[in-house]
Structure 1
């Protein structure tokens, strides 16, 4: 029997909802190479929050990890929506991590499970971002290119934050291939260290979540062109998907969008 949460998530993947002026849309595609879709997402029909996750490719049960993380965060936010947004994200990410880590420890016979997890909570003209991994969160202000809000928690990205001596030491001691390894994720460790960010929203701003299988086939200039083409966010999501498919789509493809009808601006950490 399909659980209520899985049924709702399934329906959400194919339906665009407009409630009290808020627009949300989401799509997910297996791509042209993978045999399973390890991406998962949830877009709240009332425009209160968006979540995206990408199970770590090549690791045991990546699709289960992403599903567990999204489900846990979704229900924690839903059941505690009265709490401050930043508290919801901080506690929600730890709960999602504990859920995946527990599954790893008890049901994988020593295997490793993990997933990225990125989420927006939208409240009172502001966005609140929680992020771990290499899925990405962007904000698009009117008449400006997308701004990446999330930081990639990958080997090469984190290397840039070190001083030269430490950078050279890490490169020298690196024993695996030069592949851009994911350095932080939900699940492998008992606790997690996400990025948190908040900022104001202006009328017409668009929040965008993408897994790496989607964003690697485009750039910020093309993102702006696709988003600017139509006001229909479902059509925008479809165009991003088609673009990735035309360019090979060697990974799963997932995208979630939200349009704000009013607000302010500026960014700050909390």
Structure 2
């Protein structure tokens, strides 16, 4: 089965929500559909919207400029998922793509941190942003997933919704440690772009199979809509643009307490 006969069709939507006066979310979908990014800015008057826009611009520009230095071997589809901690489990082109994605996020982090320094903000203060992104390795059925913060990437396969990212939040750490005692607030982020000179994004490679559906979102979606409802909408709405619109409307219908951004992609045979 030739992977070149399959295409990743992607569409997104963002909305200010029902209670916020400004949208600090940003997203980008490449014209080729090969990558997508969602960023959720933090900092309010310090410029969360500027941070998220800067991250989207820097990362998308970095990935657009990438030219493979190693040929990608087109192989049969498989369902193997690998992290950057297992680099020998991937072919050279995929290992290189993992490194490029990591560098793209770190470059964006430095740019935002420099803006904070120029504005006189102390370390850990000022504007920042989460990031969640996917990048299809050119000509392959391999998907690089990268993130920092609590914006998420999900994959719907055979009707089952699975998160491909794990929140970098105090609440997630509390859950990982057994959830004992009082739960911390869910929106306290322990890893983000711009708040420190260096950041270590989480980067992994996942498989793509025909009819897989990908979804990226800010926490304005998953904070308002249960995963079971998200899965149902993704199963029912085959068109990515329509699915993204319905998900945003559902978050707003549930209260819309935050900005909400959704990107949906479908991996399918070329029309």
Q: Partner of 2:17 in structure 1?
A: 31
CA-to-aligned-CA distance 1:44-75 (integer Å, 9 cap, x gap): 12121110100015461100010111100000
Correspondence 1:74 to 2:88: no
Could you tell me whether the CA contact under 8 Å between 1:151 and 1:195 is conserved in 2? Answer: no
> What displacement does 1:227 show?
1.0
Q: Structure 1 residues 126, 65: closer, same or farther in 2, change over 3 A?
A: same
Q: Assess if the C-alpha contact under 8 Å between 2:225 and 2:254 holds in 1.
A: no
CA contact (8 A) 1:34 1:252 kept: yes
Name 1:210's counterpart in structure 2. Answer: 217
> Do residues 256 (structure 1) and 263 (structure 2) align?
yes
- Deviation of the 1:119 alpha carbon: 0.9
1:55 corresponds to 2:41: yes
For structure 2, the 5+ residue unaligned runs are: 70-95
From 191, 199, 216, give the equivalent of 1:184: 191
Structure 1 residue matching 2:133: 3-state secondary structure: strand
Which residue pairs with 1:112 in the alignment?
126
Question: Residue 221 in 1 paired to residue 233 in 2?
Answer: no
Q: CA deviation at 1:228?
A: 1.5
CA contact (8 A) 2:106 2:201 kept: no
Q: More displaced, 217-226 or 249-258? A: 217-226
**Equivalent residue for 1:125?**
141
Q: How high is the TM-score relative to the length of structure 2? A: 0.80
Change in 2 beyond 3 A, CA 1:151/1:206: same
TM-score relative to the length of structure 1: 0.81
Displacement after TM superposition at 1:161 (Å): 3.8
CA contact (8 A) 2:170 2:184 kept: no
Q: For 1:101, which of 113, 120, 125 is the aligned residue?
A: 113
Q: Secondary structure at the match of 2:147?
A: strand
Q: Does the CA-based 8 Å contact 2:135-2:144 persist in structure 1?
A: yes
For residues 214 and 268 of structure 2, the distance between their equivalents in structure 1, rounded to whole angstroms, comes to: 12
Unmatched segments (≥5 aa) in structure 1: 1-18, 263-270
Q: How many positions carry a matched residue from both structures?
A: 234
Contact 1:60 1:108 in 2 (8 A): no
Distance 1:59 1:186 in 2: 17
Structure 2 distance, partners of 1:208, 1:26, is 9
Q: CA separation in 2, counterparts of 1:109 and 1:182?
A: 18
Match of 1:11 in 2: none
Distance 1:247 1:120, change over 3 A: same
Q: Distance in 2 between matches of 1:260 and 1:53?
A: 22
Q: 1:117 to 1:81 in 2, by over 3 A?
A: farther
1:147 to 149, 155, 162: 162
- Could you list the structure 1 runs, at least 4 aligned residues long, displaced by more than 4 angstroms after superposition: 108-111
C-alpha separation in 2, matches of 1:46 and 1:23? 9
Where does residue 135 of structure 1 map in the other structure? Answer: 151
Superposition deviation, residue 218 in structure 1: 1.4
Contact 1:85/1:128 (8 A) holds in 2: yes
